[in-house]
A = this chain, B = another copy of it.
């Protein structure tokens, strides 16, 4: 498993309020890959995504209530669909917990989730719409 964090996703209470802060307040550039449901901000080194907290927990198959979910997931994107299951198995072998076996995603890719030993959820994803640069970083449209 290559050492890489591709996105940081904040599970937010109110996406429009979060956009007013990051896009309008801080002036961070919003990618056209964004929708009414999720926002992708093009930042140096890592992509920052904003997504409603309840929907994020549901996607990762964790309970949203209580203190079990800290409101944050990390993503590790890979270059091919076949690698997703390999990486999930490697994470479990290393002491992680499988939260969601890999499956075809509604957005056209293939992804699953594991939790690290502290319970932080990681998505392992192949996304044909987001090719990786030669250096492994994620390429978002302008």
User: What string of 1s and 0s marks CB contacts (under 8 Å) between A1-43 and chain B?
Assistant: 1111110101111100110111011111100000000000111
Q: Which residues of B contact A82 (CB under 8 A)?
A: none
Can you tell how many copies of this chain the complex includes? 2
Contact partner, A26, options B26, B74, B94, Cβ 8 Å: B94
Q: Is A142 an interface residue (CB 8 A)?
A: no
Given known contacts A18-B117, A43-B5, A118-B13, A25 and B136 CB-to-CB distance under 8 angstroms: no
Indicate if the CB atoms of B118 and A10 lie closer than 8 Å. Answer: yes
Q: Which residues of B contact A11 (CB under 8 A)?
A: 118
Indicate if the CB atoms of B95 and A6 lie closer than 8 Å. Answer: no
Q: State how many angstroms separate the Cβ of A49 from the closest Cβ of chain B.
A: 11
Expressed in whole angstroms, the Cα–Cα distance for A32 and B10 within the complex equals: 29
Expressed in whole angstroms, the Cα–Cα distance for A117 and B43 within the complex equals: 19
Indicate if the CB atoms of B95 and A21 lie closer than 8 Å. Answer: yes
Given known contacts A3-B28, A3-B29, A71 and B70 CB-to-CB distance under 8 angstroms: yes
Q: List 8 A–B pairs whose Cβ atoms lie within 8 Å, in order of A's numbering.
A: A6-B45, A11-B118, A13-B118, A21-B117, A24-B94, A26-B91, A46-B46, A72-B72
